[in-house]
């Protein structure tokens, strides 16, 4: 009997903090995902356009292009419904509501638990399938 090899899901991590992004990348790879890091919003847009990830995790406070602008780019300019998780230290209700109105699927505040990110990633990818 032949075994069927499933395609690994691709995840884009857009965060300017190298320790956070590397830790998330390692945690997601350990869970079986392909993860790529973009240190700023411009790189995130380029990687999104070239690699078409299955899920995006983004901070709001990115250099050059903000996480909010990245969400608008993905939702409005590209008309993509790829799941987006916002990971931010901003805890203001109006910011959180605004991000959801732009099209984010989830919002997690820093500091966070890495296993929670993996669980939410799995849930969103399951819902998107």
Cα separation, 103 vs 121, in Å, equals 16
Q: Which residues are CB-contacts of 97 (< 8 A; sequence separation ≥ 6)?
A: none
Angle at 75 between CA 69 and CA 77, to 5 degrees: 80
Sheet of 106-109, strands arranged across: 34-38, 10-14, 55-58, 84-88, 106-109
Question: How do residues 64-95 score in pLDDT, each as one tens digit?
Answer: 999 999 999 999 999 999 999 999 999 999 99
Question: How do residues 21-69 score in pLDDT, each as one tens digit?
Answer: 999 999 999 999 999 999 999 999 999 999 889 999 999 999 999 999 9
Give me the CATH topology for the region 10-128: Rossmann fold (3.40.50)
pLDDT of residue 7: 61
- For residue 85, give the 3-state DSSP assignment: strand
pTM of the predicted structure, to 2 decimals? 0.92
């Amino acid at each position: 009997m032949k075994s069927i090899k499933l395609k690994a899901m691709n995840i884009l991590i857009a965060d300017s903090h190298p320790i956070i992004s590397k830790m998330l990348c390692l945690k997601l790879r350990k869970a079986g995902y392909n993860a790529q890091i973009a240190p700023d919003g411009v790189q995130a847009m380029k990687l999104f356009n070239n690699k078409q990830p299955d899920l995006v995790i983004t901070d709001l406070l990115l250099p050059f292009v903000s996480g909010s602008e990245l969400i608008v780019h993905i939702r409005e300019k590209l008309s993509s419904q790829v799941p987006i998780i916002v990971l931010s230290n901003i805890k203001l209700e109006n910011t959180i509501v605004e991000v959801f109105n732009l099209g984010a699927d989830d919002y997690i505040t820093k500091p966070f638990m890495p296993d929670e990110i993996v669980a939410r990633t799995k849930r969103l990818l399951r819902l998107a399938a």
